[in-house]
Amino acid sequence: MKYNRTSVFHPVQIPFGLTIWSLWFAAMYGSHAVVCSIAPPDPNSGVLNWLNVSFGIATLLVVALLLWLGRRSWKLSRPPHELNERQVFVTKVASGIHFIAALSTVFVGLQLAFLPPCV
């Protein structure tokens, strides 16, 4: 049985969570370096500044997306279903990787959002 790449049963779904995480990671750290060189926030404002707030919002959005994708994949793999073994494998592994990527995003995002930037 052939699936298109957007199907939740296609094996490309397995690395999708880590791809989202790596894009978020590169965007956060890249933008952090650029903002700190161009227009750093006021150091007297501490951790509650526009840069940390924007990182916090972006992190929450990515975590929500990854958790939603993980939950969706997990629900598809649960009985009753008419899936073959390959489809169940893809959905369970993809779900686990989505959840791992969400956890990684939280840990890295906490450092970005709660430490003073541009120090």
Residue 80 in domain: yes
Query: pLDDT tens digit string along 87-116?
Result: 888 889 999 999 999 999 999 998 887 788
Query: pLDDT tens digit string along 21-30?
Result: 999 999 999 9
The candidate with the shortest Cα–Cα distance to 108, out of 55, 30, 45, 38, is 55
For the question of whether the overall pTM of this predicted structure is more than 0.85, the answer is: yes
Residue 96 in domain: yes
* Count of structural domains within the chain: 1
Look-up of token digits 């541009």 = 118
* Confidence at residue 24, expressed as pLDDT on a 0 to 100 scale: 96
Residue 46 in domain: no
Residue 78 in domain: yes
